[in-house]
Amino acid sequence: MRSVFGRITGGLVLALALMVAAHGPAAAQGKSDPQNTLYLETTYGRVVIALRPDLAPKHVERLKLLAREGYYNNVPFHRVIDGFMAQTGDGQFGNGTGGSKYPNLPAEFSKTPFKRGTVGMARSSAPDSANSQFFICLDAASFLDGQYTVVGEVVSGMQFVDQIKKGSKANNGSVSNPDRIVKMQVAADVK
């Protein structure tokens, strides 16, 4: 009986280890740290984002600050490219040309790859120009690796991100009558 129990227990431990390895520290961190977890509410459902202050502390603090100020509420997903990413976060103009009242942030690039569910900061061609806009990768985007700041990872609700209205290829993903963030909050602030 012990050997069967030992094999089952060993199998469970191995399965848990493989899950953590497959999902990385962000998944484990997001589930255990409500101060570094965002709830992004869409009309389709809740998207849970585990933030990575270990990779990009200044960018993570900016996202949390703006979420706490209500900056992201009702902001459109202004650029959504099927098979690539969904971009949002322009609470100033809603079209990808604006930012917050705060100064731009210096780049915090890392070796963390851009894969499906990775959340990165949008910027202009200048590396130190990220401000409030961010994107969620709909698929792997290795061409972004080391050139954009990774701030987190979707740990649940990716099926809702997939449902966000896609933009026109002719207009570089610009979306007419776009879906919007209903509300974005830091998990620790949700009562």
Q: For 21-35, write each residue's pLDDT tens digit.
A: 344 444 444 347 999
Q: For 97-110, write each residue's pLDDT tens digit.
A: 999 999 999 999 99
Look at residue 168 in the predicted model and tell me its pLDDT.
86
For residue 151, pLDDT beyond 50: yes
Look at residue 59 in the predicted model and tell me its pLDDT.
98
In the numeric block, the tokens 């509300």 are attached to: 183
Look at residue 4 in the predicted model and tell me its pLDDT.
40
Q: Is the pLDDT higher at 191 or at 59?
A: 59
For residue 8, pLDDT beyond 50: no
Look at residue 191 in the predicted model and tell me its pLDDT.
84
Cα–Cα distances (Å) from 11 to 7, 53, 132, in that order, read 6, 32, 44
Give the contacts of 46 (CB within 8 A, at least 6 positions apart): 39, 40, 156, 157, 160
Percentage of the chain lying above the pLDDT 90 cut: 81
> What integer best gives the mean pLDDT of the chain?
88
- Nearest to 167, CA basis, from 97, 87, 75: 87
Q: Sketch out the chain's domains with CATH numbers.
A: 25-189 (2.40.100.10)
Give the contacts of 68 (CB within 8 A, at least 6 positions apart): 185, 186, 189
Give the contacts of 96 (CB within 8 A, at least 6 positions apart): 78, 79, 87, 90, 122, 133, 174
